[in-house]
Amino acid sequence: MEQTGENNGVAWQGGDRPYNASYGKLMMWFFLITDALTFSGFLAAYGFSRFKYPDIWPNPEDVFSHFPFLHGEHPLLFVALMTFILIMSSVTMVLAVNYGHKMQKNKVILWLSLTIFGGAIFLGSQAWEWGHFIHGDKGGISTQTEHVVHIAEGEKLASVYDLMGADGHDGTHHHFTVDQVITSLEANPQYNIRKANRMYLTNEDAIAYLRENATEVLLGANLKNNEYGHPLFADYFFFITGFHGFHVFSGVVILIVILINVIKGTYERRGHYEMVEKVGLYWHFVDLVWVFVFTFFYLV
Amino acid sequence: MANETKGNWWIWRVFWILLGITAFEVGLGIVKPEFLMEQFLGTKIINHVFIILTLIKAAYIVMEFMHLGAETKSLRWTILLPAIILIPYLLFIILTEGGYAYMMM
């Protein structure tokens, strides 16, 4: 029975299609709603911790400030590029869906391939971002109160490597002790520290503060400690961007499977390209989540 | 499907809107104009601007790229209502609680 929107008195006997959408598309939408609520839960949890530690939470622009092959500070640029790549791959996905409606197999193959390419580039960028985050940038010193303080030169953020006269990117594994840092601070009075609440101390106060409170010199980030600030910051970073990256990865895998089916002519024989449309919904959702991660992790 | 006859121009229109908003957000994030840094409703005004722009981007992705705007009214609201009701509710509860956790420390 092909009825749409009218029940002819048999609404409770099936055959009526109030949504006028196929089973597969409807289930994809319902899955996406649950997934959207899951991501909302993660981002709300991130917001909770940020509201709980407003004074000592790291500034995103101090953390994500580097661009591959470029020296100096370029806050936001790399993640803006990643956003652009994902939006672009969303566009190629819509084009693939659009040509699927027109049953133009070769154009579907072209635009699907470009979407997979964009997804792969995004994953590579995220790998670079993670690598950089784990390796660390300026170093920090943890204190007994879970605060992380940073080395500064006057009123400007410097790095532990500057203070110790080491190169953070020479490929070797560095390790400094609190005593070494204090000795260097005594020998180089132009350096001081910035406390977690962004207050700058003088050189003498910095030495006294570190003698009293410092526990460990942190270089890089893991799930227990990170040089950027509160330990939860790195935990949320790994968990939320990791969960999103996992979505992108599975999206790429599914797109490859669908592309193989398109090339084999499966959908041509079936008479419609609805499968491409369903994967398209998933792919746009991944883009949608990134729009929110971008805002709440990097901008706000 | 209504899009069969529409060609591709609408896709590129949405693309330029999304790109423009993102570029504007990044510019705002780098410049950080002084008059947007004041506190308003629990956070800086600039953050409210970011959130509104993000919701506009999300609406374009869902309504245009995901074709939700072209689905039946019943399907549209079935998808949108849980998100519109539950997510702001969750955020309100959790963020308020986070503020109290700060005050209790």
- Do A238 and A276 reside in the same domain of the chain? yes
Instruction: Classify residue A17: in a domain, yes or no.
Output: no
Examine the domain organization and report whether A92 and A186 are in the same domain.
Answer: no
Q: Which residue segment(s) compose the domain that A246 sits in?
A: 22-135+232-299
A298 class by beta-carbon count within 10 Å (0-12 exposed, 13-18 middle, 19+ buried): buried
Question: Considering just the CA atoms, what is the radius of gyration of chain A in Å?
Answer: 26
Could B61 and A291 be called an inter-chain contact, meaning their C-beta atoms sit closer than 8 Å?
yes
Contact at 8 Å (CB) between A219 and A160?
Answer: yes
A85 and A146 housed in the same domain: no
Structural domain includes residue A159: yes
B11: left (phi over 0), alpha (psi -120 to 50) or beta: alpha
Cβ within 8 Å, pair B54-A61: no
Q: Which DSSP string do the residues of A46-113 spell out, in sequence order?
A: HHHHHHHSTTTSPPHHHHS---TT--S--TTHHHHHHHHHHHHHHHHHHHHHHHHHTT-HHHHHHHHH
Regarding whether A248 and A124 lie in a shared domain, the answer is yes
Q: With the CA atoms of A35, A38, A39 and A43 taken in that order, what torsion angle do they form, in degrees rounded to the nearest 10?
A: 170
Angle at B43 (CA atoms; ends A297, B50), nearest 5 degrees? 50
B91 with A91: Cβ contact below 8 A: no
Q: Which of the four pLDDT bands, split at 50, 70 and 90, describes residue A10?
A: low
pLDDT tens sequence across A189-245: 999 999 988 899 999 999 999 999 999 999 999 999 899 999 999 999 999 999 999
Query: HEC string of A122-181?
Result: HHHHHHHHHHHHHHCCCCEEEECCCCEEEEEECCEECCHHHHHCCCCCCCCCCCCCHHHH
Q: Do A5 and B58 touch (CB under 8 A)?
A: no
Is the pLDDT at A270 greater than 80? The verdict is: yes
Residue of A nearest to B6 (CA): A98
Task: Indicate whether A213 and A242 sit together in one domain.
Answer: no
Select from A80, A281, A284 the Cβ nearest to the Cβ of B22: A80
C-alpha pair distances (Å), A102 with each of A123, A263, B7:
31, 16, 10
- pLDDT-derived band at B5 (thresholds 50, 70, 90) equals low
Partner residue opposite A51 with nearest CB, options B1, B75, B98: B98
- Count Cβ atoms below 10 Å from residue A246 Cβ, excluding itself: 10
Residue A87, min C-alpha distance to chain B (Å): 7
Q: Does A58 share its domain with A87? A: yes
Whether residue A96 contacts residue A280, with contact meaning beta carbons closer than 8 Å, is answered with yes
**Per DSSP, what are the bridge partners of residue A130?**
none
- Nearest of A129, A231, A272, A82 to residue B4 by alpha carbon: A272
Q: Are residues A101 and A244 in the same domain?
A: yes
Chain B residues with CB under 8 Å of A5 CB are 72
Q: How far is A163 from chain B (nearest CA, A)?
A: 28
* Among B41, B74, B94, B97, the residue to mutate for chain A (most A Cβ within 10 A): B94
Task: Compute the nearest-CA separation of B40 from chain A (Å).
Answer: 14
pLDDT at residue A254, as a whole number = 97
Contacts of B40 in chain A (CB under 8 A): none
> A91-146: per-residue pLDDT in tens?
999 999 999 999 999 999 999 999 999 999 999 999 999 999 999 888 999 998 87
Tell me what the mean pLDDT of segment A280-291 comes to.
96
Place of tokens 């997934």: A35
H helical segments located in A188-298:
203-213, 231-236, 242-264, 266-270, 274-293
**Using the beta-carbon criterion (under 8 Å), do A51 and B11 form an inter-chain contact?**
no
ipTM for the whole complex? 0.91
The answer to whether residue A70 sits within a structural domain is yes
**Which residue in A87, A101, A285 is closest to B15 by CB distance?**
A87
Domain count, chain A: 2
Out of B79, B90, B101, closest to residue A40 by CB: B90
* Residue A10 domain-assigned (yes or no): no
Q: How far is B34 from chain A (nearest CA, A)?
A: 15
Residue A76 to residues A28, A66, A243, A292, Cα–Cα distance (Å): 33, 8, 21, 15
Residue A234 and residue B77: Cα distance in Å, rounded?
37
Q: Are residues A276 and A129 in the same domain?
A: yes
Q: Band of the pLDDT at A6, cuts 50, 70, 90?
A: low
Tell me which of A278, A295, A296, A298 to substitute to probe the interface with B (most B C-beta atoms closer than 10 Å): A295
Q: Are A116 and A249 contained in the same domain?
A: yes
Whether residue B72 and residue A18 make contact (CB cut-off 8 A), yes or no, is yes
- Categorize the per-residue pLDDT at B103 as very low, low, confident or very high, splitting at 50, 70 and 90: very high
Q: Please count the other Cβ atoms lying within 10 Å of the Cβ belonging to residue A47.
A: 18
Same domain, A94 and A107: yes
How far is CA B96 from each of CA A36, A52, A287, rounded to the nearest angstrom? 21, 10, 29
Structure token pair of residue A14: 């099936």
Q: Which of A219, A250, A270 is the last residue of a domain?
A: A219
Q: In terms of domains, do A197 and A147 share one?
A: yes
Q: What is the mean pLDDT of chain B?
A: 89
> Does A65 share its domain with A90?
yes
Strands A156-157 and A148-153: antiparallel
What's the CATH code of the domain at A124? 1.20.120.80
Residue B2: is its pLDDT beyond 80? no
* Cα(A255)–Cα(B83) distance, integer angstroms: 27
